[in-house]
Chain A
Amino acid sequence: MSDDKLPAEHAEGHGEVAAADNPFADPGLPAHQVRRTDIDERAAKRAERQVSLLFVVSMLATIGFIASYVSIDPDKIVYIFPLGHVSALNFALGMTLGVALFCIGAGAVHWARTLMSDVEHPAERHAIEADDEVRADVIEQFKTGAGESGFGRRKMIRNTMIGSMALVPLAGVVLLRDLGPLPEKKLDHTGWDEATPAVPIRLINMNTNEGMKPEDIAVGSLTFAKPGPSVLRPEGLQESDDDFQEAIAKDALMLIRIQPEDIKDANSAGLGFQGVLAYSKICTHVGCPISLYEQQTHHALCPCHQSTFDLSDGARVIFGPAGHPLPQLKITTDSLGYLVATGDFSHPVGPSFWERSE
């Protein structure tokens, strides 16, 4: 397009006056500038084709999306630089849908910028409030209505209405009962509570699924255990059990061994067996599984809120929001030398709850 089709630079803009004598005067709008597509039909046609092309690309990409969804095997992994080994299906779906949406957006923006009218339309601003006459009328109507209803005169109606409206929210409060029933004693007990000194429960290693002897637990080692066979659960807790997740969330144990002279808490040492200590793996703050055990400091850290327990000192809380030490399980050995529990944890496992006994 030749320059002679262009309008003259800034044909006298109607706002660009009066700046000399009054710098605060309203400058008004600058002169409207035409676009190339407004004055050159060929440019307009070209822009139209470009917009259409973008929309056609979007259509093709959507068809590509459907085609890749149908044809690509979900397990297929391909190498794509620089992403590495990625799922072919994920990549194809993401790319095609991305292109389809981008082209619609780009086409719409290009259309608006080149072809739709861009003439400025000034709109005057007014105060939001209604004018005084309307307001006075509404207030008058309200007063009339209040007078006709006798609200101020018939006090009994007024008071009973207020009473009924005050009571209605109680219906919602009553519905809170559905949050119950209360857990009663369920949270106080774990899978270890069937153990008695007469019928103990063996500690089963989570890795090997077998019992452990104290000599298996080396100083500085960390082992995870679950309850073994008991009266109610002759097979012991199995991962295939329906309630495995629920049970292990309370029963999980971590077993460590500390040199007996390094155990600071005499009570805790008494619950263990020759320095082997069995602590609950469930944090007493909000119940995360914790076992970030540091074998030199004997600290166990909870990854959720950084509660830190000193396992050499009865799992005392030394940092963080947890409110109780970790419950400890009293362990000893049976006649064959395997580690067993003779009762439930010293305290309820996991986070605090209202009915918690301590």
Chain B
Amino acid sequence: MKKLSARRRHPLAALVVLLFALAATGGLYAAFAPAEAAKADSSAQSLKIDEGKRLFAVGCSSCHGLNGEGSSTGPSLVGVGSAAVDFQVGTGRMPAQQPGAQIPKKKNIYSQDDIDAMAAFVASLGPGPVVPTADQYTSTETDAVAKGGELFRTNCSQCHNFQGAGGALTQGKFAPSLEGVSPKHIFEAMQTGPQNMPSFPDSTMPEKQKQEIVAFVRYQSNEAPNPGGLSLGSLGPVTEGLFGWIFGLGVLIAIAIWVAAHTTKAKKS
């Protein structure tokens, strides 16, 4: 003890005391601080969920309920996952413009950051399909387009037409055209089954097959050549027949009338 007191005027004594005091304070705080405060999490993810909840309260809660529990005008969002939010909001389908048989695609009014925040909030309500990353929906296989074509004809062509041009369903509903839809949104639609589209979960259609379908659809809308020139909407004999009757026969009739109406008489007038 004497040794210690002898050194109490040492220049470093204050520093040692300070360190002791800090350690004691920190230890006591850790031991006695209120449990809630200790758990307070300020990670980016939870900030995002908070932000998402705020956006959700403004844009979505009037139909889906304040906590996404659903109401008479909108389904529950528990368990739909972030992929569903990214698809619905990213393509402008949500927030819905007006109720109807089908909510159409329209201009998206949210930034990707806002969509991610809302997706994070909805994902926090219950587990569901997660927004895919680029390597999940991009196939590197060389034969992906051919295999995707087979899968598309088995699973998708009945509603979306054999080239993805879309088609009619019951009572005002329709399967939209897939032309120009981003790979991420095609993948998310298969995962989540938006509106009346059935879902194609990984258990019945593995991720690799979804990649192949995405590759096929992208090929159809971007690169596929059109051997005959005009595709006429790729809708088949209806548009082709209409074109033949109106333009083909119409031009022939017009020429026949022109031939008969114009003479080569050497009139002065």
Contacts and interface: CB of A to CB of B under 8 A. Distances in A.
B154 A221 contact: no
A86 interface: yes
A296 B194 CA distance: 10
A220 interface: yes
A35 B265 contact: yes
Nearest to A8: B268
Interface stretch (A125-133, A143-151, A206-214, A229-237): A206-214
A207 B158 contact: no
B209 to A, nearest CB: 6
A296 B264 CA distance: 69
Contacts of B203: 212, 215-218
Interface in B127-159: 151, 154-155, 158-159
B181 to A, nearest CB: 19
A256 B225 contact: no
B198 A295 contact: yes
B233 interface: no
B199 A37 contact: no
Contact residues on A (Cβ < 8 Å of other chain), bracket: 35 or more
Interface string A64-98: 00000000000001001001111100110010000
B230 interface: yes
B17 interface: no
**Of B155, B206, B264, most A-chain CB atoms within 10 Å:** B264
A293 interface: yes
B103 to A, nearest CB: 12
Contacts of B267: 33
Interface in A15-49: 33-39
B173 interface: yes
B170 A293 contact: no
A17 B264 CA distance: 26
A224 interface: yes
A295 B198 CA distance: 5
B43 interface: no
A36 B266 contact: yes
B26 interface: no
A174 B143 CA distance: 55
B201 interface: yes
Interface string B155-179: 1001100000001011001010000
Interface residues of B, number: 38
B196 interface: yes
A222 B200 contact: yes
B231 to A, nearest CB: 8
A35 B196 contact: no
Nearest to A308: B170
Contact of B225 (A37, A85, A291, A308): A85
A3 interface: yes
Contacts of B227: 77, 86-87, 90
A297 B265 contact: no
Contacts of A109: 259
B11 interface: no
Nearest to B229: A83
Interface string A288-324: 0111111111010101001010000000000100000
B228 A86 contact: yes
A114 B262 CA distance: 11
A231 B158 CA distance: 32
A319 to B, nearest CB: 7
A261 interface: no
A68 to B, nearest CB: 15
A83 B151 contact: no
B119 to A, nearest CB: 19
B226 interface: yes
A52 interface: no
A113 interface: yes
Contacts of A292: 158-159, 167, 169, 175
A352 interface: no
B88 to A, nearest CB: 14
B158 A296 contact: no
A223 interface: yes
Contact of B199 (A205, A208, A295, A319): A295
A294 B170 contact: yes
A297 B169 CA distance: 12
A77 B201 contact: no
A9 B267 CA distance: 8
B253 interface: no
A232 B222 CA distance: 46
Contacts of B266: 6-7, 33-36, 38-39
Contacts of A33: 265-267
B229 A222 contact: no
A218 B196 CA distance: 14
A224 B170 contact: no
Given A216-B204, A220-B198, A87 B167 contact: no
A290 B134 CA distance: 33
Given A224-B154, A297-B196, 14 more contacts: A34-B265, A35-B265, A85-B225, A86-B225, A86-B229, A113-B263, A207-B205, A220-B198, A223-B205, A292-B158, A294-B196, A296-B195, A296-B196, A319-B170
The 7 A-B pairs at the shortest CB distance, nearest first, are namely A222-B198, A216-B203, A87-B227, A294-B196, A85-B225, A36-B266, A83-B229
Interface of A: 3, 6-7, 9, 33-39, 77, 80, 83-87, 90-91, 94, 109, 113-114, 205-208, 212, 215-218, 220-224, 256, 289-297, 299, 301, 303, 306, 308, 319
6 contacts: A36-B266, A84-B225, A86-B229, A113-B263, A290-B158, A294-B170
